[in-house]
Amino acid sequence: MKTRFLAVLLLAMAAAVFSHGGAAPAFAQAQSQQEGIDYAQWDRDASRAEKVLAEGKATTPAFDTLRSELVDWRTRFLDAQNINSSRIKTLRDQISALGDPPAEGESEPKEIAQRRAELTKQLNQAQAPSLKAVEAYSRADGLIREIDQTIRERQADQLLKLGPSPVNPVNWPAGLIAIRGTLVEVGNEIAANWDNPNARASLRSGLPVTL
């Protein structure tokens, strides 16, 4: 008699779990996966990256190191976006099987309304970890993009410092002086060659000048 009672009790407990769509195992798994990401540490690292970017004083190698750290975080968040994916699909299918919700001013049977509310609550709970990962991924990706832009701007500034830009009108006088100096040198060379009979003949014939 006692054995039969225990069997009935176990069956009742199993039925209760399945009536809730197996929520307990799914959420236990999500919690286990969620524990693999220290969001408190992520918030500290992200805040530090935002401060470094705002100050703009870090060296480029330091920015590269910071970027590598953020890329690692971003990869972990991308993987975490799949938490409870199977459970979420099942819950959505269950809600869809109940039919469309009643229009405004209409109602549906109490049992269906309660079941819809229960499944919707479970769906929101199942989606919470993945939505948190999506938000964190967006923050990490944005910080990485800011670092990339900072590095590109520094590289562009470095290229401009290598020499005067011909696009800048301020540098035109120096360029014109250099060109004029070259033309004077070429003119003097031609004049000197013209005084040489062999060089003059070569110039007239278009052959290389031989002195």
Q: Which residue has the tokens 């002086």?
A: 177
Instruction: Decide if 210 contacts 202 (C-beta within 8 A).
Output: yes
DSSP reduced 3-state for 48 = helix
Residues 150-175 as b or e (16 or more Cβ within 10 Å = b): beeeeeeeeeeeeeeeeeeeeeeeee
Q: How far is it, in rounded angstroms, from Cα 75 to Cα 131?
A: 15
Instruction: Please state the rounded mean pLDDT for residues 12-16.
Output: 37
Query: CA–CA separation, 102 vs 48, rounded Å?
Result: 49
Candidate from 27-41, 91-105, 112-126 with smallest mean pLDDT: 27-41
Quickly tell me which residue has 């993987």 as its tokens. Answer: 79
- Per domain, the residue ranges of the chain are 2-161, 169-205
Q: What's the rounded Cα separation, in Å, for the pair 139 and 192? A: 71
pLDDT at 135 over 60: yes
Look at 166 and 89; give whichever has higher pLDDT: 89
Residue 199: what pLDDT? 52
Q: Which residues contact 115 (CB under 8 A, 6 or more apart)?
A: 98
Reported as half-sphere exposure (CB side, CA atoms, 13 A), residue 52 has a value of: 22
Tell me which of 150 and 4 has the higher pLDDT. 150
Residue 10: per-residue pLDDT: 36
pLDDT given at position 89: 95
Whose tokens are 């972990």? That residue is 76
In this prediction, what percent of the chain has a pLDDT beyond 70? 60
CATH topology of domain 2-161: Helix Hairpins (1.10.287)
> 136 and 39 in contact (C-beta within 8 Å)?
yes
